[in-house]
Amino acid sequence: MLAWERWQTARVALVYLAFGSEVDPLAGGLLSASPTLPAATAAGPLLATTRTPAAGGLRVHLFDPAALEPHPLGFWQPRPDAPVVDLASIDVALVPGLCFDRQGGRLGYGRAYYDRLLPLLGAHVATVGVSREALVVERLPTEPHDVAVRWLVSEAGLRPVAHPGAATSPGPLTP
């Protein structure tokens, strides 16, 4: 992932703070090169992450591991006073899921937070589902509001999805 040109040239990458059985993108080697440093480097983007407010959709804030607080459901998130990130500056978005299908469909915790956030990102954004390879299945059931990712990353590597759905995902991106 770190060697991917899209990652290396991204201005801002949206990452998530894992919850439950989600794969943690900040541990285990996926982003092992200084994932806790919020400053951009020559080989990587500035990191941002989401905050789940009491009402409304996800908010995107600068990732600062020293400025996190627990959400009432048990996951970590930026404090409300953390700097807000302009969605237009995001170039790569790592998307959590309990499992994914080969077309980029995802199964989450059922509140559609990411399904509401992803359409707000620019069409240029490389959306990447993060999963264990054993949890990438042939096909998941989908609903009209579901938004597919365009890339999958697992311990088997990074790859574009097989056939992104025209209604749920803008056209394919090149690596």
Give the predicted TM-score (pTM) of the model.
0.86
Q: Please give the average per-residue pLDDT across 133-141, as a whole number.
A: 95
Q: Phi/psi of residue 29, each to 5°?
A: 100, -15
Measured torsion, CA atoms of residues 143, 149, 153, 159, in degrees rounded to the nearest 10: 120
Q: What percentage of the chain reaches a pLDDT higher than 90?
A: 66
Tens-digit pLDDT profile for residues 19-69? 888 999 988 656 643 333 344 445 679 999 999 988 888 999 999 999 999
Neighbours of 24 (CB within 10 A): 16
Whether residue 175 has pLDDT greater than 80:
no
* Domains of the chain by residue range: 5-160
CA 154 to CA 95: how far, in whole Å?
12
How many alpha carbons fall within 13 Å on the CB side of residue 5? 3
- Architecture per CATH, 5-160: 3-Layer(aba) Sandwich (3.40)
Cβ 78 vs Cβ 63: under 8 Å? yes
